[in-house]
Structure 1
Amino acid sequence: EFMQASWDIEEVQAKGIQHLASFVKDKSAFPYLLKSPKVITFAMKTHATSLKLQVDGCRLLLEILSQALEQGVVMALDETVATCLLVTVRKHAGNEMLLSLLCTVLMMVSASEVTAENLRKVGIIPDLLSILRRFLHNDEICFSCCGVLWSLAVSENNADQEVLESAVPVTSAVLQKYLQNGPIAESACSVLWALSLQGCLTDNDYEPTTVLLLDALRMNLEKAVLVKNGCLALASLIRVSEIAALTFITDSKGNGIDLIKDVYHLYFNDPGVVGALCLLMKEMAQYDEVVLDLLSQKMDKLLTEIKIQFPFS
């Protein structure tokens, strides 16, 4: 009420945010803090030129979101809050420190389907792509932005086809730069999978994206989620493109079928990864030339082994 009575006075809003921050460690105050993001973000929007207020607001939001995460509470933020956050993104598009905080906030709130949909509605995707292009060197920003893109791209009723298509080269650039950074590579692979499911890749994308995903798998075989999502992304590409299938078996760094064997031997007890491998082989089997390669590599024996391992799957 103190903040709502004087929206236009920056000092009042700053003190209000500081006062709310003083309750963060008080567990009994948590239910009240859950209701505060709307007030915090509106104060940030009203005083968008105040860098200190933006930073303090973001830090407070992160504290509240972290507590919510610890307690298993998913915070669904409405379109008004999404709009307020977008104003800050655009007003401070060149401030790397603030964007690092803000993109982490966006990643955390986008875990809610409702919030992800509201972020999509207000048109945040082009801004995320601009941030990635500008701050490709910043691993925290790349990780957070890919996390938001993943949440937004998986929406079944996505009307942003053209915008999402422009995310393909940007996401590929992130993956190329951070192939050896497991968390970022995992997040970027997930985005490419979502983009491929949405039909956002063109004929020119299939070969380089297949090679890139193969590289990501080879360099991160110990990361189960990355391996699973990477295989699902490859399956999605191969489903619609023979170019992708032929690239998979003729890659200069090694036949992808050998990689399937390596993955299976590492994860033969993991139904999620094995299921992704089976889907990948199913999509490969629609192309005669690839089938010959599968048979010459005795993949029928591997499939028999999988059936024995997972008889009810």
Structure 2
Amino acid sequence: MENYEILETEPKGCYGVVHIVKHRKDRKTYAIKMIECMDEAIANQGLKESLILIGLDHPNICSYKEIFVAWDEEVSAMNVCMVMEYSSVGDLASYIQDKRQRKEKIREMVIKNFVGQMVDGLVFLQSKQVSHRNLKPTNILLLPDLSFAICDFVVPVFVSDEVKFKIRMKEYSKLWMSPEVLERLPNLKSDIWSTGCILLEMMTCSMVDENAFEQLIRIIRKDWKYMNFILEKLHVEKKYTVNLCNLVQLMLEPDPAVRTSVTALLDLQYVKESLVICGSWLSGKKKSPVGTEQVPFREGIDKLLEFMLVEIDVEEIQKIALKYIAYLLYESEVLESSERMVPVLISIMKHHKDCLELQARVCRILLKFAMKATEDSIEEGVLFSDTVINAILPIMESRQKFVELQQIICNLLMVLAGSEAAGKLIGMANGIQTIMRTLRIYIDNSHVCIPCCGALWSLVVIKENAQIAKSEGSLRFVLQVLEKHIQNGDVVESASAALWALSLHESLNDEQLEDITLLLIEAFELHLRKETIVKNICFALASLIRMSELVAFRILVPENNRDGLALIIQSYHKHFTDPEVVQDICMVFLELVQYEDVLPELLSQKLDVTLNSIKIKFASNEDILILVDSTLSKLQTIGSSPQDEDVDSNVVSI
């Protein structure tokens, strides 16, 4: 240990502590796992068995620098010391935990990359007749280039004693262990089960916490068929592919004799694709060129940006550097450097016009920056300038066939359009025409329609943009989007907002007004429980009522068994605890009472009772009270009809 300087000590590992150390000569940082052995014979046997780890030379296997035995005078025991690779980036467990706290789904592309690297590593281990036996997220390092490396191997002699095994191995640590390892009968298929558990945790992290996941694994151990329900839920709700779900099911077969093997995995199409993505030699594709390991990941953002510009011609270096930046996007250092980083990103995107992958990665990073800037109420600077807008719109125009890139850029435009200055720049750069072309092409794709409509909603607030949108027939296409995706709440939310904004600038005939109103009422009924949809549709209906009395009658007269007024009143009872929603509902009521011919129908449906109920509940809300009092005042005028006045005069004369 005299060659190492201890930096910190982690309470990690089942068999002893882990020291984070710096080598006094090469000044590199390592992790030293120290396994305490009271018996010298076991220590020597452990040293002998561990030496095979020194020869494990593979990019997805943690490299071991040296393994030695040291005497600990304090406890009078031998320690087997295993000096292994250390990564400041962290491990897979910390990555999963971060996603879990954010309730953020891990993208399947990340999982697919992980699958490829794990299979590559397991094939290598099998060729060496080595089994890990304790694969879990904490034993998988995230390396600086964001590849994965299996670490912290279990040495057989240290699990040979059943009593010590039970004492040393905490219950939670056994969670990812295969059934046969728990029975201390490991084989080369044991790591397949553990990998399946890790994949399942990655897929479920946005849905369940650690305790719920632990319970889930325990249920699966007892009832394997329960996994069908979980995987179906992940496929439907989280949109993970059937092939990924099938892979997990194959890996989590409890009987090792039936469970798939590593070699059998290589025949699966999903695994073949994963190997290609991660650049495994097993796929027959070339790996990243020599030199990419020189990317200065640990020298700070400025050094990294400088290196990216110097090596701007090397596509692979740019991919790895962008991958690293994307991983660190939530770090304060990266977010604070956006003004310095954005020009570099734009330069890379322009320099590699033919590389779709690079363009997509840059746009994802720009989108993250824009979302963070909006969250922090920063709507100025290079991100919201023509530098970015004039770079992304031509790509959107030229890459019409690539739906994922279109989706990313549409989302980016939607966020940027929240800035009035950026909104004007987008309009001047033919951004609305480009958005509309994308919307026409992908009108059946809900993931594209949502940001397109969202961008239009923000953009048409500007008068000049509204005129462009009008000339592009935007309202008609947004109506088609709403009609096609009326069951999809996210599309309805976005499209109804765009519809409201666009309708303010359109001259609509009676037929158009009727069609729009009926469509909005149908959407209202389908998504009555979602506050944002209720708000958006109320805004749209209020604007349409203001345009024509026909809209008011269409709301009041049931069509296809849909009573518009009854639905609006019903929405109040569902959202009576949300003052903002109630205020928007009251705005619709106020617009309705502007037409005298509809007042009797409103009274017959006891709108005044609903209004008085709102008045009592929101007695301290001045904005709502003004709307309610104005509406009630209009309703009360119907109480004095000419016939009533004649009767009253006769009574007076008598």
Structure 2 unaligned residues grouped into runs of 5+: 1-304, 624-654
Name the structure 1 match of 2:332.
27
AA in 1 matched with 2:338: L
- Assess if the C-alpha contact under 8 Å between 2:535 and 2:584 holds in 1: yes
Q: Which has the larger radius of gyration?
A: 2
Q: Distance in 2 between matches of 1:5 and 1:39?
A: 7
1:45 shift after superposition = 4.0
565, 570, 574: which is aligned to 1:266? 574
1:74 shift after superposition = 3.3
Name the structure 1 match of 2:360.
55
AA in 1 matched with 2:537: G
Name the structure 2 match of 1:88.
395
455, 475, 498: which is aligned to 1:168? 475
Structure having the larger proportion of residues in helix = 1
AA in 2 matched with 1:190: A
Name the structure 2 match of 1:74.
378
Report the CA distance shift for 1:35/1:248 in structure 2 as closer, same or farther (over 3 A): farther
Secondary structure of 1:257 counterpart: helix
Alignment of 1:186-265 (within 5 A): 186-199=493-506, 201-253=508-560, 254-265=562-573
Of 9-18 and 49-58, the range deviating more from structure 2: 9-18
1:102 shift after superposition = 1.9
344, 350, 354: which is aligned to 1:39? 344
Structure 1 unaligned residues grouped into runs of 5+: none
AA in 2 matched with 1:255: D
Report the CA distance shift for 1:34/1:245 in structure 2 as closer, same or farther (over 3 A): same
1:93 shift after superposition = 1.5
**In the TM superposition, what whole-angstrom CA distance separates every residue of 1:14-36 from its partner, at most 9, and x where no partner exists?**
74564354244153232223432
Report the CA distance shift for 1:119/1:228 in structure 2 as closer, same or farther (over 3 A): same
Report the CA distance shift for 1:109/1:159 in structure 2 as closer, same or farther (over 3 A): closer
Q: Distance in 2 between matches of 1:164 and 1:4?
A: 43
Task: Give the alignment's Cα RMSD to 1 decimal.
Answer: 2.6
Report the CA distance shift for 1:81/1:202 in structure 2 as closer, same or farther (over 3 A): farther
Name the structure 1 match of 2:615.
307
Structure having the larger proportion of residues in strand = 2
Q: Distance in 2 between matches of 1:133 and 1:81?
A: 24
Q: Does 1:11 align with 2:11?
A: no
Q: Distance in 1 between matches of 2:412 and 2:511?
A: 34
Of 102-111 and 40-49, the range deviating more from structure 2: 40-49
1:206 shift after superposition = 0.8
AA in 2 matched with 1:307: K
Name the structure 1 match of 2:419.
112
Secondary structure of 2:528 counterpart: coil
Q: Provide the aligned length of Structure 1 versus Structure 2.
A: 309
Report the CA distance shift for 1:244/1:14 in structure 2 as closer, same or farther (over 3 A): farther
AA in 2 matched with 1:56: R
Name the structure 1 match of 2:464.
158
1:51 shift after superposition = 2.0
- Assess if the C-alpha contact under 8 Å between 1:17 and 1:57 holds in 2: no
Secondary structure of 1:286 counterpart: coil
AA in 2 matched with 1:246: F
The TM-score, its normalising length taken from structure 1, stands at 0.87
Report the CA distance shift for 1:111/1:130 in structure 2 as closer, same or farther (over 3 A): same
1:159 shift after superposition = 4.5
1:199 shift after superposition = 3.5
1:47 shift after superposition = 4.2
AA in 2 matched with 1:53: L
Of 20-29 and 280-289, the range deviating more from structure 2: 20-29
Q: Distance in 1 between matches of 2:424 and 2:510?
A: 29
AA in 2 matched with 1:39: V
Of 71-80 and 163-172, the range deviating more from structure 2: 71-80
1:205 shift after superposition = 2.1
- Assess if the C-alpha contact under 8 Å between 1:74 and 1:111 holds in 2: no
Percent of aligned pairs with the same amino acid? 33
Q: Distance in 2 between matches of 1:281 and 1:141?
A: 34
Q: Does 1:98 align with 2:400?
A: no
Compare relative contact order (CA 8 Å, sep 6+) and give the higher one, 1 or 2.
1
Name the structure 1 match of 2:258.
none
Q: Does 1:279 align with 2:587?
A: yes
The TM-score, its normalising length taken from structure 2, stands at 0.44
Of 129-138 and 223-232, the range deviating more from structure 2: 129-138
Secondary structure of 1:222 counterpart: coil
- Assess if the C-alpha contact under 8 Å between 1:210 and 1:247 holds in 2: yes
**In the TM superposition, what whole-angstrom CA distance separates every residue of 1:166-196 from its partner, at most 9, and x where no partner exists?**
1111111111122221111111111111112
Report the CA distance shift for 1:242/1:90 in structure 2 as closer, same or farther (over 3 A): same
Q: Distance in 2 between matches of 1:261 and 1:179?
A: 21
Alignment of 1:143-154 (within 5 A): 143-154=450-461
Q: Distance in 2 between matches of 1:109 and 1:42?
A: 20
1:65 shift after superposition = 3.7
- Assess if the C-alpha contact under 8 Å between 1:186 and 1:226 holds in 2: yes
AA in 2 matched with 1:105: L
- Assess if the C-alpha contact under 8 Å between 2:414 and 2:451 holds in 1: yes
